[in-house]
Amino acid sequence: MKKVVYVLLVVMMTMSLAACGKKESKELVMATNAEFPPYEYYDGDEIVGIDVEIAGAIAKELGLELKVEDMAFDSINVAVDSGKADIGAAGMTVTEKRLKNVDFSDSYATATQVIIVQEGSDIKGVDDLVGKSVGVQLGTTGDILAADIEDVTMERFNKGTEAVMALAQGKIDCVIIDNQPAKVFVEKNEGLVILDEKFADEEYAISIKKGNTELLDKVNKALKTLKESGELDKIIAKYISAE
């Protein structure tokens, strides 16, 4: 009899532990690359920016606490795919290549890829990039699109700031990067300018593990609520003034 009771206790404890193991997390883990102002960047020891606030608002809609993990840009979707992060938000554009590995939410912002050059450069537009050395941040849209330019020498950097620094030092001919961080980089580096001609237009979205339709639907529903309430526009306007 004692043996039977003991076995029952072991089974009950095992089931209890299993139930605890299955307890849903109270966090929404966001993978990002905090080198992309004003979308994500460090303010002291804290990561702030448009994407962080939008993800925070989504987490609130889902009844969760946001946790932000900083990593290399090309590691973000790897983290999402492996389950180490729930979402990826880093000024990320939806591309066919990325869609092979992750799903994407509805778009929450429209952006432009631009070209940064030194003042006096002979590069005046996209057609002048042929045969030039182009700096990009590894794994970004600029990296993907610039690779299609004829006879271009690609110089890939882990951070956008590193690419801009190389340009300022005359090591490369130009940098292709998103418009908003480009403005910040040009303001901080005398002698650099953004060309008037756009390189490409794109839309930002949040990456989610492929096949996780439950989370995807929840994120899209939260985004819709934030758009309809005007909260999304309010967050973006906080960091980007109307031009």
Q: Which residues of 108-132 are buried (b: 16+ CB within 10 A; e: fewer)?
A: bbebebbbbbbeebebeeeebbeeb
Q: Decide the pairing of beta strands 109-118 and 174-178.
A: antiparallel
Percent share of the chain, pLDDT over 90: 74
pLDDT in tens, 36-70: 889 999 999 999 999 999 999 999 999 999 999 99
Q: What is the mean pLDDT of residues 184-199?
A: 94
Q: What is the mean pLDDT of residues 191-198?
A: 95
pLDDT score of 21 more than 70? no
- In this structure, are residues 107 and 204 in contact, taking their beta carbons and an 8 Å threshold? yes
- Identical fold for domains 26-108+205-239 and 112-202, yes or no, is yes
pLDDT for 20 equals 46
pLDDT score of 5 more than 60? no
Which run of H or E residues covers position 136? strand 133-137
pLDDT in tens, 144-186: 888 888 899 999 999 999 999 999 999 999 999 989 899 999 9
pLDDT, averaged across the chain: 89
Q: What is the mean pLDDT of residues 20-28?
A: 67
**In the chain, domain spans:** 26-108+205-239, 112-202
Length of the chain: 243
CA–CA separation, 88 and 205 (whole Å): 9
pTM comes to: 0.73
* CA distances, 106 to each of 71, 121, 139, 218 (Å): 23, 38, 21, 11
The CATH code of the domain at 26-108+205-239 is 3.40.190.10
Three-state DSSP class for 174? strand
pLDDT for 243 equals 46
**Residue 17 identity (one-letter amino acid):** L
pLDDT for 110 equals 87
Cα 163-107-56 angle, rounded to 5 deg? 80
Q: What is the mean pLDDT of residues 199-213?
A: 95
Cα torsion 46, 49, 55, 56: sign: positive
pLDDT score of 114 more than 90? yes
Decide which of 3.30.420.40, 3.40.50.2300, 3.40.190.10, 3.30.70.2080 is the CATH code for 112-202.
3.40.190.10
